[in-house]
């Protein structure tokens, strides 16, 4: 069995000169094609999402987000650098303040079965069925085990799930992370039986969980934390995965590709002054973490790397997620 590498996609932001690292974009993204229209050689590798059902205009007009329209618009974005397409992921209901795991089981199962039907339909109708990742909104171990096994038995060997929606609400943030790894525990268990599988974890992929994602046999992930931190919060990532407000720093030492091109004092001035500089730095830190993960995968040392990073983070919730991946979660 070939070794599977790990790929991270950053949430797409307007084109950054010289930074063509992999990005994720929505099926209705028009700025992406325009940004690279005159410089296609720099078009980054990308993963095409099926869109955020909880955002405008889809929350008010769900008829704009059907399996047919999603696939039609996704296929307009396909190029030689498209790595995957996420099929339509259906939520349990329109209440985006109630976590999936708190919905009635019948509603949860209906949603994920509808998502499976959309994936099977897309396979029959897509121009590039090889790019398809069956997308699900799932929040419990039992639901995940059920629907992932059904998908894999139907020869849908590329799966995807959306995460992080309820981490926006403080009262659900900790449980949302744990539920994510309950879902991934189900996938990890099945991936031992179905060897030729791939999994894309969409959203909720902060720097301090990347090793855990790879440990769960996730092959790709995306997240916005590095971009949002730099743009909205004025924060930079440290090599240990912590966020620090740039304007509170008095000294700076960093060997990432961005910072290495400046004297330490000049790099610090740029990080304080420029949101774009902070995003560039944060992205480079993510890429360093990604490179460590892939080196560990190649050398069969991922468990050691994961434990080492969790020790650095010193976060009890993350250790609990690690335990969840190593133990069968309790049935609901």
Choice between 324 and 29, residue whose per-residue pLDDT is larger: 324
Angle between helices 173-193 and 316-326 (to 10 degrees): 30
Query: Which residues of the chain does CATH 3.20.20.105 include?
Result: 7-223+311-326
pLDDT tens string 227-251: 889 998 999 998 777 889 999 999 9
pLDDT, mean over the chain: 89
pTM: 0.93
b/e map of 138-159 (b: 16 or more CB within 10 Å)? bbbbbbbbbbbbebbeeebbbb
pLDDT the model gives residue 281: 94
7-223+311-326: CATH, from 3.20.20.105, 3.40.50.300, 3.40.630.10, 3.90.25.10:
3.20.20.105
Tokens standing for 291? 């490179």
- Read off the DSSP letter of residue 55: S
């Amino acid at each position: 069995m070939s070794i599977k590498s790990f790929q991270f996609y950053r949430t797409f932001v307007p084109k950054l000169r010289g930074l063509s690292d992999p990005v994720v974009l929505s099926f209705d993204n028009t700025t992406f094609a325009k940004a690279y229209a005159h410089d296609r050689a720099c078009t980054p590798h990308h993963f095409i999402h099926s869109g955020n059902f909880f955002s405008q205009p889809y929350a008010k007009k769900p008829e704009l987000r059907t399996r047919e329209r999603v696939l039609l618009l996704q296929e307009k974005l396909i190029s030689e650098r498209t790595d995957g397409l996420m099929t339509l992921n259906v939520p349990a209901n329109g209440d985006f303040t109630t976590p999936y795991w708190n919905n009635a089981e019948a509603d949860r199962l209906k949603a994920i079965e509808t998502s499976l039907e959309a994936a099977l339909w897309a396979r029959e109708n897509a121009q590039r069925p090889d790019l398809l990742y069956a997308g699900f909104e799932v929040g419990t171990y039992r639901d995940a085990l059920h629907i992932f096994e059904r998908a894999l038995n139907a020869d849908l060997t590329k799966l995807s799930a959306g995460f992080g929606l309820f981490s926006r609400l403080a009262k659900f943030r900790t449980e949302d992370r744990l539920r994510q790894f309950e879902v991934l525990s189900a996938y990890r268990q099945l991936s031992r039986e179905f060897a030729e599988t791939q999994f894309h974890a969409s959203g909720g992929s902060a720097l301090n969980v990347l090793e855990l994602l790879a440990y769960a046999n996730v092959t790709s992930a995306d997240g916005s934390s590095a971009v949002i931190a730099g743009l909205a919060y004025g924060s930079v990532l440290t090599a240990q995965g912590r966020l620090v407000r740039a304007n509170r720093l008095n000294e700076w030492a960093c060997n990432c590709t961005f910072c290495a091109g400046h004297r330490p004092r000049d790099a610090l001035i740029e990080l304080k002054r420029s949101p774009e500089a902070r995003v560039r730095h944060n992205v480079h830190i993510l890429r360093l973490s990604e490179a460590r993960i892939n080196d560990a995968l190649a050398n069969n040392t991922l468990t050691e790397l994961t434990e080492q990073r969790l020790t650095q983070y010193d976060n009890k919730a993350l250790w609990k997620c690690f335990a969840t991946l190593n133990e069968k979660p309790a049935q609901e």
